[in-house]
Amino acid sequence: MRRKEKRLLQAVALVLAALVLLPNVGLWALYRERQPDGTPGGSGAAVVPAAGQGSPSQQKKIFFLGDGHKLKDWHDKEAIRRDAQRVGNGEQGRPYPMTDAERVDQAYRENGFNIYVSDKISLNRSLPDIRHPNCNSKRYLETLPNTSIIIPFHNEGWSSLLRTVHSVLNRSPPELIAEIVLVDDFSDREHLKKPLEDYMAHFPSVRILRTKKREGLIRTRMLGASAAIGDVITFLDSHCEANVNWLPPLLDRIARNRKTIVCPMIDVIDHDDFRYETQAGDAMRGAFDWEMYYKRIPIPPELQKADPSDPFESPVMAGGLFAVDRKWFWVLGGYDPGLEIWGGEQYEISFKVWMCGGRMEDIPCSRVGHIYRKYVPYKVPAGVSLARNLKRVAEVWMDEYAEHIYQRRPEYRHLSAGDVAAQKKLRSSLGCKSFKWFMTEIAWDLPKFYPPVEPPAAAWGEIRSVGTGLCADTKHGALGSLLRLESCVRGRGEAAWNNMQVFTFTWREDIRPGDPQHTKKFCFDAVSHTSPVTLYDCHSMKGNQLWKYRKDRTLYHPVSGSCMDCSESDHRIFMNTCNPSSPTQQWLFEHTNSTVLEKFNRN
């Protein structure tokens, strides 16, 4: 009898074991079948309803990873549906229809952007979902770290600051927001005092910190970071708008590797009419030239992903918008406390994370809009120098490559960077790699666009019209101004430089004001076969700024298929149908390098 009872108990145990194990075996088999390479995170993971979340149509789907972690669709579908139905001024990121009265200077003077328009747009306005379509099906870890969102501000406009906070609250899963910390850098506008405190009292997750004196952006961020309680610190500027499902893609990458700094794609909110759109080129790698201006360069084929919505490595961040594991941030020393006010901090944190054992990624499925001000509306305290910050970063992190900066900016060479001993000690204690390693392994594609040693120019000096005997002249033109014909001033000492009649046809095949050692940052640009030739920001991407100086002495513009022409009567320089026999289309450079020109024309 006892033997029968024992067999019966064994049979029951086997049945129970089968009930427990077989479903999991089935799930694993299904997962392996759809993931032949065994890697986690594919779209074929098995679906399991989330417990206690209502009907299947309301449930957020949960996905199992092979390592036992679960994936989740973090999209707030109901909020997305509501946003899609919104109409009104500025909704869906459309431009605000402005009148002349709304373009007054005062609207810009205090903020650097049109605060009148900002005030007329809803604090909860909807934005276009301009992510890659694949982002809609992305799943992220079900368990993510929470974050403290740090927003520093100084004399920010009321509506632009509030819209930043509202967009974060509206488009972030509440369980991922540990807090939003507004850090006031000694603002003196009344609306940022008690009215702001009264308004934010309605939002329990928001708190306000205030500095006791003007500290500047860098130290204000550090104050917020030192007070943060979240697992992750996320820095935003005070005139941003977070887009749909922006936060989970950032936190997911940090959850998988806590030494990863992640940056959202930064979209452009127009400073005038508040339209929302992507930056030119959209997904690109952060870089710099050897005067330490921030640049963006294309993702090289070797780093392009099969799925364009996947994260990609970036050597340098833009600066203001990123997320980092809080403990890792302090292991890295935070920002160098010797950096003053603003400038250079994006290079310091970028070099530091890469060289000291971490990594940095841009996340295409996370997008945040940013207002790029028309100009900075407040004064920087006296005695503060961007040059000093850049010199400090170069001295601590760039090793022998700092010499390339000093060759282009000789005034930096003898500038005091302050005491950098503590920062060099930090670098040594962290066992950080050399800057040569950074340039070889991380920013290996940068020299193609911004070589440390500038290749020889194709031509330089004055550009004289054969037909008129006059010279191209920028007339001290600012960005967007027209190139003009003027009397040639060569041989009059500094007059040629002062009148901006010195140009360089660079190795990039663009034409810039200045001699080969001192070129400006704007280029000859033409948009059509009949347009005037204007001065526009150099982008080093050829396109409208690509020129060919041919043997018939014409300046050919491949994009428009036309040639640079001129008119003596009204001093215009413009594009026209190519006619090599026309003297007004023939131009003489003061100096030429035939080897480089032949290479250009051969290509």
pLDDT (tens digit per residue) in 565-574: 999 999 999 9
The reported pLDDT for the residue numbered 96 is: 85
Confidence tier at 237 by pLDDT (50, 70, 90): very high
Q: DSSP character for 246?
A: -
Taking residues 185-201, report their average pLDDT: 96
Same-domain status, 313 and 210: yes
The answer on pLDDT for 236 being more than 70 is yes
The answer on pLDDT for 43 being more than 70 is no
The answer on pLDDT for 337 being more than 60 is yes
Q: How many helices (H) and strands (E) does the chain have?
A: 17, 28
Taking residues 446-456, report their average pLDDT: 92
Same-domain status, 260 and 358: yes
Q: Residue 346 is inside which H or E element, if any?
A: helix 345-355
Q: DSSP character for 422?
A: H
Same-domain status, 269 and 157: yes
CATH number at residue 191: 3.90.550.10
Taking residues 418-445, report their average pLDDT: 97
The answer on pLDDT for 491 being more than 70 is no
The answer on pLDDT for 370 being more than 50 is yes
Q: Is residue 469 part of a domain?
A: yes
The answer on pLDDT for 47 being more than 60 is no
On the CB side of 166, CA atoms within 13 Å amount to: 14
The reported pLDDT for the residue numbered 108 is: 65
Cβ atoms within 10 Å, residue 279? 15
On the CB side of 526, CA atoms within 13 Å amount to: 26
Share the mean pLDDT of the chain. Answer: 86
Q: Is residue 437 part of a domain?
A: no
Domain's final residue, options 46, 72, 98: 72
- Asked if 418 and 424 touch (Cβ cutoff 8 Å), the reply is no
Domain's final residue, options 312, 339, 371: 371
Q: Which tokens hold the place of 158?
A: 């009321």
Alpha-carbon distance of 321 to 324, in angstroms, equals: 10
Confidence tier at 45 by pLDDT (50, 70, 90): very low
Which residues on adjacent β-strands are paired with residue 149? 180, 234
Same-domain status, 269 and 313: yes
- Asked if 254 and 324 touch (Cβ cutoff 8 Å), the reply is yes
Give 492 or 467, the one with higher predicted confidence: 467
Q: Is residue 391 part of a domain?
A: no
Helix (H, G, I), strand (E, B) or coil at 344: coil
Per-residue b or e along 131-151, where b marks 16 or more CB atoms closer than 10 Å to that residue's CB: bbeebeebbbbbebbbbbbbb
Q: Is residue 97 part of a domain?
A: no
Q: Is residue 465 part of a domain?
A: yes
Cβ atoms within 10 Å, residue 176? 20
Per-residue b or e along 514-524, where b marks 16 or more CB atoms closer than 10 Å to that residue's CB: bbbeebbebbb
Cα of first residue to Cα of last residue in the chain, in angstroms, is 95
The reported pLDDT for the residue numbered 296 is: 92
The reported pLDDT for the residue numbered 277 is: 94
Same-domain status, 82 and 68: no
The reported pLDDT for the residue numbered 432 is: 98
Same-domain status, 132 and 265: yes
Taking residues 486-496, report their average pLDDT: 68
Same-domain status, 27 and 82: no
Taking residues 360-378, report their average pLDDT: 87
Helix (H, G, I), strand (E, B) or coil at 262: strand
Region for residue 560 given its phi and psi (left: phi exceeds 0; alpha: psi -120 to 50; beta: otherwise): alpha
Whole-prediction pTM: 0.79
User: Which residues are within 8 A (CB) of 390 and not within 5 positions of it... i.e. 6 or more apart?
Assistant: 292, 343, 344, 347, 405, 412
The answer on pLDDT for 478 being more than 90 is no
The answer on pLDDT for 251 being more than 50 is yes
Of the listed ranges 313-317, 393-397, 477-481, the one predicted with least confidence: 477-481
Q: Is residue 408 part of a domain?
A: no
Alpha-carbon distance of 17 to 30, in angstroms, equals: 20
- Asked if 369 and 128 touch (Cβ cutoff 8 Å), the reply is no
CATH number at residue 563: 2.80.10.50
Domain's final residue, options 328, 356, 371: 371
Same-domain status, 84 and 52: no
- What domain range includes position 30? 12-72
Same-domain status, 121 and 191: yes
Q: Is residue 5 part of a domain?
A: no
Alpha-carbon distance of 273 to 96, in angstroms, equals: 5
Confidence tier at 408 by pLDDT (50, 70, 90): confident
Same-domain status, 51 and 130: no
Which range scores top for mean pLDDT: 65-79, 109-123, 394-408, 527-541?
Answer: 394-408
Of the listed ranges 44-58, 79-93, 144-158, 474-488, the one predicted with least confidence: 44-58
Number of domains in the chain: 3
Q: How far is CA 313 from CA 262, 302, 335, in A?
A: 9, 12, 21
% of the chain with per-residue pLDDT over 70? 83
Give 373 or 122, the one with higher predicted confidence: 122
Residue type, 13: A
The answer on pLDDT for 41 being more than 80 is no
Per-residue b or e along 183-220, where b marks 16 or more CB atoms closer than 10 Å to that residue's CB: bbbebeeeebeeebeeebeeeebbebbebeebbbbbbb
Confidence tier at 281 by pLDDT (50, 70, 90): confident
Same-domain status, 63 and 16: yes
The answer on pLDDT for 57 being more than 50 is no
Of the listed ranges 17-31, 81-95, 118-132, 362-376, the one predicted with least confidence: 17-31
The reported pLDDT for the residue numbered 213 is: 93
Alpha-carbon distance of 543 to 281, in angstroms, equals: 12
Computed over its alpha carbons, how large is the radius of gyration of the chain?
Answer: 29
Same-domain status, 566 and 585: yes
